């Protein structure tokens, strides 16, 4: 996917709604756009490839192996959602497998490119890290709410 196709797609995402065109254009230089077919594995549980993924179009499903090694569906990922960011930040292996459940368009950012953007474009890197932290915070609050319901 070409950068000129990627920029308008990013601008339509809630995550970047307050980014200026110049910032989105700069950010696109650190991202890799990718179209994937249904059934494509985006991340595999236990791998350490250290990429995070923002889903632009399509649908993904998150699978986690149970104690017997059988994959169990945890959730669906809809457009605008970020996945894999925890592994990019902490360097640990992916905690789940993510598979395209429909043809999808996504963008990937490597740990290396996240570090590069923070060094080369510190203001943009700070905004991006804040967005990631905000998404992690929301997810933790939702998980805590679900946990309380089960106690």
For residue 118, the model assigns a pLDDT of: 95
Pairing of strands 41-43, 71-77: unpaired
pLDDT digits (tens, 9 = 90+) for 63-89: 998 888 888 999 999 999 999 998 888
pLDDT along the chain (151 residues), means of 10: 82 90 93 95 89 95 89 92 89 92 95 95 94 87 76 71
Q: What is the pLDDT of residue 149?
A: 76
pTM, entire model: 0.86
Q: Which domains are present in the chain?
A: 3-111 (2.60.120.10)
Strand partners, 108: 32, 53
What pLDDT is attached to residue 69?
Answer: 82
Task: Specify the residue for token string 């915070």.
Answer: 137
CA distances (Å), 31 to each of 4, 140, 147, in order?
A: 12, 26, 34
| DSSP letter assigned to residue 58 | S
Ordered alpha helix ranges (H), the chain: 3-11, 21-28, 85-90, 111-120, 122-150
- Please tell me the predicted confidence (pLDDT) of residue 54: 94
Question: What pLDDT sits at residue 124?
Answer: 95
Residue 99: per-residue pLDDT: 97
């Amino acid at each position: 996917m070409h950068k000129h196709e990627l920029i308008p797609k990013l601008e339509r995402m809630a995550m970047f709604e307050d980014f200026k065109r110049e910032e989105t254009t700069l950010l696109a230089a650190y991202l890799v756009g990718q179209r994937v077919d249904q059934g494509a594995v985006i991340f595999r549980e236990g791998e350490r490839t250290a990429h995070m993924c923002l889903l632009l179009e399509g649908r993904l499903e998150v699978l986690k192996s149970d104690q017997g090694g059988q994959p169990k569906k945890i959730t669906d990922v809809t457009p605008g959602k970020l996945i894999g960011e925890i592994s990019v930040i902490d360097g640990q292996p992916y905690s789940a497998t993510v598979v395209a459940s429909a043809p999808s368009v996504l963008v990937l950012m490597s740990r290396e490119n996240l570090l590069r953007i923070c060094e080369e474009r510190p203001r943009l890197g700070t905004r991006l890290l804040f967005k990631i932290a905000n998404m992690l915070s929301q997810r933790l609050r939702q998980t805590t709410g679900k946990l309380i319901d089960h106690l």
